[in-house]
Structure 1
Amino acid sequence: MKNYKRGRFARRILLVLIVLIGIAYLNRVTILQKIVSIGAQSQVVNLEKQSSTPTQTDELASLNYSGQTVVEINNNQPIFNKKELQFQQDGWQKLSSLDWLGRPQVANALLNQKLMPPSQKYKARERLTIKTPGYHAIKTGTNNTDWLYNRSHLIGYQFTGLNNEGRNLITGTRQLNADSRVNAKSMVTYETEVADYLHQSTDHYVRYQVTPVYKNVELVPRGVHMMAQSNDGTLKFNIYVFNVQDGWQINYLNGKAKRSE
């Protein structure tokens, strides 16, 4: 009888542990964010300082926005290697897996007219329903179309027709995604340049890479690193777009935001 009671007690303890582990896993992002919020001296907050050889992504994440949304990297020259610049006849796109926090990672493609979807004049684009990490529906004005955040595609919809795919969508400000101010540059500036080039000829190919840049365990990227190079070398760029919105303070850890004072 004693062995039976001990066995039943052990099973209950095991069941409780399984439930607690499950709860911790489902709430891992929130738990980690609470750890981070303890203070600037937290080891988690200062992960990037522990490395003696910071990567380019680390360096980009540490850049400070000073009023210019787009900045050139490496004198605007892309850094693809020879293997990455193999322009075969068939275009392709490759999306990385989400990381353990559910965040999209680098997206690569070899773009060509063959991959581009039909005009929206003939086929309506489906409504985006993916909830990207850190996304909040925050209005920036009285107009119902004025929102702080977009669900921003890494590889633009006009290139491959990929839409509701979580690996290809980040939480991006309107200023990052498609800034409508006069002479302002944003992701759409460079996407339009690539699209115009592709429309010129079926023989045009563009090696394309877009990388969301995160700082530590933040859910919202600090910016987006974009590189492109055409097969004839007439189109190329290497730029970083800050994920900011003038007049707003963004908490990149969880995506909450408020107007600047």
Structure 2
Amino acid sequence: MIGQEVNWEGLLMAKKGRSKKQGGVYSAIAVVVAVAAVWFKSGGDVSTTLNSLTSELTGNSANTAVTTAKVAKSGYGGLSKSDYQKLANLEFKSGEKAYVTVNHNHSTLIKNAWKSNRVIYADLDDLNRTSSSNTAFLEKRNVANDSLRVRQFVEPTAWHYNRRNGEQIYNRGHLIAYSVSAGIDQNGHYNPSNKSGDQNNPKNLFTQSAFSNQKIQTIFESKVRSALRQNKKVIYQATPIFKGDELMARGINLQAISTDGSLDFNVYLYNVQPGYQFNYANGRAKVDRGMKVLE
């Protein structure tokens, strides 16, 4: 372009304009892809999709409610009273995930506190609820033989029998799972003659939705079992979260840490059931086919 004056400023402005347009197009495509992904996951339900997107955009999760968790004032740490209240104030909305992380998924248990194989079972509160933390100090010998399970008969607060059509809504949820409590008696001591895991222990049961117990809690219990089978020592804590004087827990905080730090999680599971709404004051359920829960 010899002999011609080049309008460099104009060229730069034009290039910036194209970049902004391209950036806007890419952003729009990203939004469409995100909406489509949530839509597909929700099964095409409009309200579920909107609630899920709102949750993502506003950060409505225990991770924002308990961004930096406090360590309980005990010799082994765990869930603090103030963080318990923060979890109790969380409200589940249809279309959200069944669980959220706490403290960026890092346990507040103190891994060096593992001294001996035992379980600390908290006493029932004045309403006969398991509203405090049960904390287990576990090792490989605590992995239980599933064939030794017996029928559960304890009725925790807010317990109701499942409906006549056989659909499971309620479970007797263990705080410290049967599968990782072999040899532990109801006083929390290890007894080698006791081959089964914890069963029918009022201090270790709460009324839990079948979905939360069978679909979600088992995910984290399997992580603990896997670590134990690798001969790791694990501290595992479970805390049902009650709001006020309600008899049914709103959810349960599960956290664990191995002494070598390879296992480390901290989550809050909502006590919810797809297709039903609970009255947490008494545990009664009513049909609500609009209630969607994402795994």
- Both proteins in one fold, TM over 0.5: yes
Residue 86 (structure 2) pairs with residue 59 (structure 1): yes
Residue 287 (structure 2) pairs with residue 251 (structure 1): no
Contact 2:154/2:200, CA 8 A, preserved across alignment = yes
For residues 91 and 116 of structure 1, the distance between their equivalents in structure 2, rounded to whole angstroms, comes to 12
How far 1:207 moved relative to its partner? Answer: 0.8
For residues 251 and 192 of structure 1, the distance between their equivalents in structure 2, rounded to whole angstroms, comes to 30
Contact 1:111/1:206, CA 8 A, preserved across alignment = yes
Amino acid at match of 1:178: Q
Three-state SS of the structure 2 residue aligned to 1:85 is helix
Q: Deviations over 1:9-30 (max 9, x none)?
A: xxxxxxxxxxxxxxxxxxxxxx
Match of 1:75 in 2: 104
Partner residue of 1:101 out of 127, 137, 161: 127
Match of 1:151 in 2: 172
For residues 70 and 249 of structure 1, the distance between their equivalents in structure 2, rounded to whole angstroms, comes to 17
Q: Deviations over 1:64-89 (max 9, x none)?
A: 223211100010011124xx63222x
For residues 155 and 87 of structure 1, the distance between their equivalents in structure 2, rounded to whole angstroms, comes to 16
**Same amino acid, percent of matched pairs:** 32
Match of 1:86 in 2: 113
Residue 225 (structure 2) pairs with residue 195 (structure 1): yes
How far 1:240 moved relative to its partner? Answer: 0.2
Contact 2:143/2:229, CA 8 A, preserved across alignment = no
Q: Deviations over 1:150-181 (max 9, x none)?
A: 000000001111111001000000111012xx
Amino acid at match of 1:138: N
Match of 2:26 in 1: none
Alignment of 1:99-178 (within 5 A): 99-104=125-130, 105-117=132-144, 119-121=145-147, 124-139=148-163, 142=165, 144=166, 146-160=167-181, 161-178=197-214
Three-state SS of the structure 2 residue aligned to 1:196 is helix
Cα RMSD, aligned residues only: 1.6
Alignment of 1:4-15 (within 5 A): none
Amino acid at match of 1:166: P
**Alignment length, in residue pairs?**
191
How far 1:120 moved relative to its partner? Answer: 3.0
Larger mean CA deviation between 229-238 and 72-81 belongs to 72-81
Contact 1:211/1:225, CA 8 A, preserved across alignment = yes
Gaps of 5+ in 2: 1-80, 182-196, 290-295
TM-score, structure 1 as length reference: 0.70
For residues 85 and 178 of structure 2, the distance between their equivalents in structure 1, rounded to whole angstroms, comes to 28
TM-score, structure 2 as length reference: 0.62
Decide which structure has the larger Cα Rg and report it.
Answer: 2
Three-state SS of the structure 2 residue aligned to 1:101 is coil
